[in-house]
Amino acid sequence: ASDGTNGHSQLPTEEDMRLLQLQQRYAEEAAKRIRADGPAQFLDLTDADTDRFKAIAEDPWADHAALNAKQTVKDGATYKFLVLGGGYGGLLYAVRLMQAGLIKGPDDVRLVDAAGGFGGTWYWNRYPGLHCDVESYIYMPLLEETGYMPKQKYSPGSELREHAERIATQFELHDKALFRSNAKAATWDEEEKLWTVQITEGRGPNEPSRELTLKCQYLMVASGVLNVPHVPKIPGLEGFGGEMFHTARWDYSATGGSYESPDMEKLKDKRVGIIGTGATSIQIIPQLAKWAKELYVFQRTPSAVHPRDQKATDPEEWKTKIASKKGWQVERALNFAAHMSLATKEGEENLVNDGWTRIPAYSALIGSPGFGLIEPTPEAIGANVARLYKMDTPTAETARARVDQIVKDPETANKLKAWYPSWCKRPTFSDMYLQAFNEPNVHLIDTNGQGIEAATKDGLIFAGKEDPLDVLVLSTGYRSPAFGNGNPAAKTGISVIGRGGLSMDEKWKNIGSATLHGVATSGFPNLFFAFGPQTAATANFITMLEVGIQHTAHILAKAEEKVGAGSRAIVEVTKEEEEAWTMQVMMRAPYFASIMGCTPGYLNGEGQSARQDPKDMMKASRSSGWSEGMLSYVEVLEEYRREGSLKGVEITAA
């Protein structure tokens, strides 16, 4: 037949029908959770104006006496590089810039962080059970440089923080960091061709804070993605009478034990509540279950929980197979990225070979090269989305079946099943979480997508019933990384004023994202950022940081070579080339349409992205990722560097 059906009508198969029903169920579950207030349902703890929430946001870990005794910056001084952030991103900037020969002398770099030490995420988060979810061998940066062998395939948070310290020690950064300090504003000084940065240094409860002004030639923004803890605006929450804290500021004085030894003895006679069942809770709940007299888990949306298969590192395997040759870490990280985005070559070994690499439809979120550019038509977009749903079904069904295998009570098991595709929320991995629900002291309060109704002095209310609690853990996550359409200034909470008084907030508000390769934007010379929009993603955030930071270090090394020793370089991307890159990104945006239909979460602006007007949607599409995935993006950047002319980067001498 001319319609290509060989004379058979194209009736849906049984499998098609099953898939449609599944999609229908996913859509119903998502619809249940859509709220008119979207992201406004949360309060960022950094914006809290009440004593209770302000106290919750405070740094519990800083050693104020030791930090007050140190002086690492001089007010008014000029440094070559100022790095905002002392997490793995900030450390990577410092080290890669050193290795590129850009940081040499003692005043060439300073790092500024609101935290009281290095580590970023791994400084702030010290909750019991904390581990990285990506293999440590590729997650922990600079393992080749430091020669460190992680003890396990997935390292605990303490080892991850110690590693940040190790990097700082090896690269002599301890006396180059200003901690407990919030950068508030950065202004380009056209006369001096320098950035002026306003900073408030906190000095602990017994000393007044200090206002500092630092100047720098280059400003590097490494202010992170998930570090503004937020809490739901649940009526009455602030008036809760018991102990209450957020997971990013764990309060061991309330639970007993310490980060080093989390024996939470004080919970033995306590009724503990925890709100949230995201990646954080998956790690904490098994620990709380061991110590609390009663544990109440308040769930709005369950996480999909896959096997973890933690194991100790075998030193022999480490020496002979994993870390056996120079360049192994980048190779392993890119091998992982290739498996994640279905970009492997024929017969390519799966080096990490863990649960992540068995979630092929995660490529809906991070891109994949195999499907070309998706035309912006309903048919092409629909076909791509249908393909992804089909690809995900075995993974999602296996995860749901695993709940039944582990959780003994069928009613509880049903409530713990995730009814959304794998790309909608960060998948989780645990061999302890589901098991905890078999313990008699663990109670699941499933809110059927609705969340807690209210809090009282004594506990939490759902469906008109109060559960009395002594301790309440807020495991309610962070401000979305998509905040401000990825505007680095908004994400960092600073006002950035570039050439001619141009404000970065205004630029983003007016036109949306505009970058060259996701690392710099026109009008803001000598300012670079990591984790910008318009880059490629993968499950391992460190690969994302590494790729952008190494690219920036290359550009700056070339720029300095061009202006020659003795001159200061001014490096700025052109409007034409950033617009050309933005167009490339926008052409790829239709690939990511499947995220819009997701159950609300930080990835889709709590469900708002599907409800934007067309103008805002257009703007948002400028913040898209690279739809062919990490390897393709790396190749584009490598080709750009090989070509050598640094097209779209203007380099002048100050």
Q: Residues in the site for ligand FAD, rule: CB under 6 A?
A: 84-90, 112-115, 120-121, 123, 125, 132-134, 139, 182-183, 222-227, 280, 492-494, 530-531, 540-542, 545
Residue closer to ligand FAD by CB (options 133, 354) is: 133
Residues 6+ apart with CB under 8 A from 592: 364, 365, 367, 624, 625, 627
Q: Is 477 in the site for ligand NDP (CB under 6 A)?
A: yes
| CA distance linking residue 578 with residue 71, whole number of Å | 40
| CA distance linking residue 90 with residue 111, whole number of Å | 7
User: H-helix or E-strand containing 569?
Assistant: strand 569-573
* Helices (H) then strands (E): counts for the chain: 22, 22
Q: Is 278 in the site for ligand NDP (CB under 6 A)?
A: yes
Residue 278 binding: pick among ligand FAD, ligand NDP, none (C-beta 5-8 Å cut-off by kind): ligand NDP
Residue 146 has, within 13 A of its CA and on its CB side, a CA count of: 22
Q: Is 451 in the site for ligand NDP (CB under 6 A)?
A: yes
Q: In terms of Cα–Cα distance, which of 290, 298, 409, 430 is closest to 355?
A: 430
| CA distance linking residue 485 with residue 493, whole number of Å | 14
Find the shortest distance in angstroms from Cβ 504 to ligand FAD: 13
Residue 451 binding: pick among ligand NDP, ligand FAD, none (C-beta 5-8 Å cut-off by kind): ligand NDP
Q: Is 275 in the site for ligand NDP (CB under 6 A)?
A: yes
| CA distance linking residue 571 with residue 164, whole number of Å | 29
Residue closer to ligand NDP by CB (options 255, 582) is: 255
User: Mapped to the 3 state alphabet, what secondary structure does 44-111 carry?
Assistant: EHHHCCCHHHHHHHCCCCCCHHHHHCCCCCCCCCEEEEEEECCCHHHHHHHHHHHHCCCCCCCCCEEE
> Letter for the amino acid at 207?
E
Residue closer to ligand NDP by CB (options 590, 600) is: 600
Q: Is 136 in the site for ligand NDP (CB under 6 A)?
A: no
Q: Is 601 in the site for ligand NDP (CB under 6 A)?
A: yes
Q: How many residues in the shown chain lie near ligand NDP by CB under 6 A?
A: 28
Residues 6+ apart with CB under 8 A from 495: 184, 185, 186, 489, 503, 505
Residue 490 binding: pick among ligand FAD, ligand NDP, none (C-beta 5-8 Å cut-off by kind): none
Helix pair angle (14-33, 378-406), 10° resolution: 80
Q: Is 279 in the site for ligand NDP (CB under 6 A)?
A: yes
Annotate each residue in 31-50 with x if it binds ligand NDP (CB under 6 A) or - if it does not, as one string.
--x-----------------
- Alpha helices for 564-613 (secondary structure H): 575-588
Find the shortest distance in angstroms from Cβ 91 to ligand NDP: 18
Residue closer to ligand FAD by CB (options 30, 248) is: 248
Residue closer to ligand NDP by CB (options 308, 517) is: 308
Residue closer to ligand NDP by CB (options 424, 553) is: 424
The SS3 of residue 56 is: helix
Residues 6+ apart with CB under 8 A from 438: 406, 407, 408, 409
| CA distance linking residue 106 with residue 301, whole number of Å | 50
Q: Is 163 in the site for ligand NDP (CB under 6 A)?
A: no
| CA distance linking residue 119 with residue 224, whole number of Å | 11
Rg over alpha carbons for the chain, rounded to the nearest Å, is: 25
Q: In terms of Cα–Cα distance, which of 48, 175, 47 is closest to 111?
A: 175
Provide the b/e sequence for 105-126 (b: ≥16 CB within 10 Å): eeebbbbbbbbbbbbbbbbbbb
Residue closer to ligand NDP by CB (options 195, 478) is: 478
Find the shortest distance in angstroms from Cβ 183 to ligand FAD: 4
> Letter for the amino acid at 157?
G
| CA distance linking residue 275 with residue 272, whole number of Å | 10
Find the shortest distance in angstroms from Cβ 228 to ligand FAD: 8
Give the number of other Cβ atoms within 10 Å of residue 419's Cβ. Answer: 20
Find the shortest distance in angstroms from Cβ 239 to ligand NDP: 16
Footprint on residues 224-263 left by ligand NDP (CB under 6 A) = 226, 232, 234
Residue 476 binding: pick among ligand NDP, ligand FAD, none (C-beta 5-8 Å cut-off by kind): ligand NDP
Among 181, 196, 255, 277, binds ligand NDP (CB under 6 A): 277
Residue closer to ligand FAD by CB (options 508, 640) is: 508
Stretch that binds ligand NDP, among 293-301, 335-343, 368-376, 579-587 (CB under 6 A): 293-301
The structure tokens 């937020």 sit at 230
Stretch that binds ligand NDP, among 129-137, 343-351, 412-420, 614-622 (CB under 6 A): 129-137
Q: Is 515 in the site for ligand NDP (CB under 6 A)?
A: no
Residue closer to ligand NDP by CB (options 281, 609) is: 281
Q: Is 362 in the site for ligand NDP (CB under 6 A)?
A: no
What does the DSSP assignment read for 346-360? Answer: TT---SS-SGGGG-G
Find the shortest distance in angstroms from Cβ 357 to ligand FAD: 14
Residue closer to ligand FAD by CB (options 90, 421) is: 90
Point out which residues bind ligand NDP (CB under 6 A): 33, 131-133, 226, 232, 234, 275-281, 283, 298, 300-301, 426, 447, 451-452, 475-478, 601-602
